């Protein structure tokens, strides 16, 4: 006897715009084809959850300037290599002789600094609350080892202030946030409780497997159907209400909040992390201040709108024509977490799918 078919369809009686905040979610939703299970009138918008994508062009230009600096070894995660700055990229600088190294952990950069103390080793600190604790540990390790040639250019950002900025923007209506599992494992549930209460918007933390995503989305839709707005956890096996207290402590020891510029969202108060003054000797912006000429985003690129859900990747005129993963124009096509890369890889680039109803309100 055959098993009865399982109906995986998601249910909601109202139209809604849901935003997946996390770039890893963007790729998982596309890879598993979950958007096709959404009820009529419910749409997913990609948000500012890819750290490489939200890093503004000026910060890329600063990293390029550092890479060109005599005696500097610049260490970075691989995703940053091909992100275009105004006139160059780290990949291009390496090709013409700069000492730019791809690392898998900031501790590798500390090892480089320890092995060759004649060179200044700078780590490109790009990432959210998932990355910042590792970078904080690298600063503490360098301090303990007495290294004077290791520093961090901190462009770290924190997710909750970006959600508030999105709710206060007037060009996109968001009815629910699918919140990132890995960031939430560090920060816990409390920041979302404050956002849900303040803006009357449901927030559900989800993991990255297909079943995690389906569960998280249905919990969001159930809240919308019931007219509720609270923070819920669909990833309890990894996310505790209080988060990872050790990671929070290490991060708070080394970093303090600061205003930060986001591609697409502008300057958001207290959304960045800078090194505290007691660790100023490990701050590349203090040790090696750089001046860059006026920065300019790639002509025609609309990543800023994609990152706040105001534009679907397929709606960018350059999508899949002038801009592809092999020849990316903007960071959302470069990064393995970028929304444009997800749409290109898992969608049909010859078929532009524009939803029937407008998503800008
Ligand atoms: Fe930018 Fe390319 Fe995406 Fe257009 S398709 S928004 S140019 S990354």
pLDDT at 8: 63
Global pTM reads 0.90
Nearest to 136 by CA among 120, 148, 149, 152: 152
Q: Does 5 score more than 90 pLDDT?
A: no
Q: What is the pLDDT of residues 13-70, one digit of tens each?
A: 899 999 999 989 999 999 999 988 999 999 999 999 899 999 999 999 999 999 999 9
The reply to whether ligand 1 has any atom less than 6 angstroms from the CB of 302 is yes
Residue with CA nearest ligand 1 atom 8: 330
Q: How far apart are CA 114 and CA 117, in angstroms?
A: 6
Ligand 1 lined by 320 (C-beta under 6 Å): no
- Give distance in angstroms: CA of 331 to centre of ligand 1: 7
Helix pair angle (132-145, 106-115), 10° resolution: 20
d(CA 245, CA 188): 9
**Which ligand 1 atom sits nearest the alpha carbon of residue 331?**
8
Q: 301 CB less than 6 Å from ligand 1? A: yes
Beta-strand relationship, 255-262 and 266-275: antiparallel
Choose the residue to mutate in 330, 336, 343, 345 for probing ligand 1, maximizing ligand atoms within 8 Å of C-beta: 330
Question: Could you tell which of 23, 311, 319 is best to mutate to test the pocket of ligand 1, judged by most ligand atoms within 8 Å of the CB?
Answer: 319
CA of 301 to the centre of ligand 1 (A): 5
Q: Which residues contact 206 (CB under 8 A, 6 or more apart)?
A: 25, 178, 179, 181, 212, 213, 215, 216, 217, 234, 235
Mean pLDDT of the 176-181 span = 97
């Amino acid at each position: 006897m055959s098993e009865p078919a399982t109906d995986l369809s998601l249910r909601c009686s109202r139209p809604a715009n849901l935003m997946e905040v996390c770039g890893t979610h963007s790729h998982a939703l596309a890879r598993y084809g979950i958007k096709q299970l959404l009820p009529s009138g419910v749409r997913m918008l990609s948000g500012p959850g890819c750290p490489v994508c939200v890093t503004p062009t000026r910060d890329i230009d600063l990293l390029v300037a550092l890479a060109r600096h005599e005696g500097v070894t610049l260490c970075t995660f691989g995703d940053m290599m091909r992100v275009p700055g105004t006139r160059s990229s780290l990949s291009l600088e390496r090709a013409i002789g700069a000492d730019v190294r791809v690392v898998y952990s900031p501790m590798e950069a500390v090892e480089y600094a320890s092995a060759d103390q004649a060179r200044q080793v700078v780590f490109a600190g790009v990432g959210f609350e998932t990355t910042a604790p590792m970078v904080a540990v690298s600063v503490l390790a360098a301090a303990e080892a007495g290294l004077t040639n290791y520093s961090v250019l901190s462009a770290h950002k924190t997710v909750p202030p970006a959600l508030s900025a999105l709710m206060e923007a007037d060009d996109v209506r968001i009815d629910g946030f699918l919140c990132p599992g890995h960031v939430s494992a560090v920060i816990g549930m409390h920041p979302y409780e404050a956002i849900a209460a303040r803006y009357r918007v449901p927030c559900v933390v989800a993991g990255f497997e297909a079943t995690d995503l389906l569960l998280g989305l249905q919990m969001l839709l159930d809240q919308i159907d019931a007219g509720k707005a609270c923070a819920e956890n669909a990833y309890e096996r990894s996310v505790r209400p209080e988060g990872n207290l050790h990671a929070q402590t290490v991060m708070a020891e080394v970093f303090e909040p600061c205003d930060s510029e986001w591609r697409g969202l502008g300057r958001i108060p207290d959304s960045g992390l800078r090194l505290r003054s007691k660790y100023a000797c490990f701050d590349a912006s203090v040790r090696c201040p750089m001046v860059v000429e006026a920065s300019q985003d790639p002509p025609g690129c609309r990543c800023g709108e994609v990152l706040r859900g105001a534009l679907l990747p397929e709606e960018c005129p350059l999508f899949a024509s002038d801009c592809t993963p092999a020849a990316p124009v903007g960071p959302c096509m470069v990064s393995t977490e970028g929304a444009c890369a997800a749409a290109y890889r898992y969608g049909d680039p010859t078929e532009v799918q524009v939803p029937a109803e407008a998503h800008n309100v």
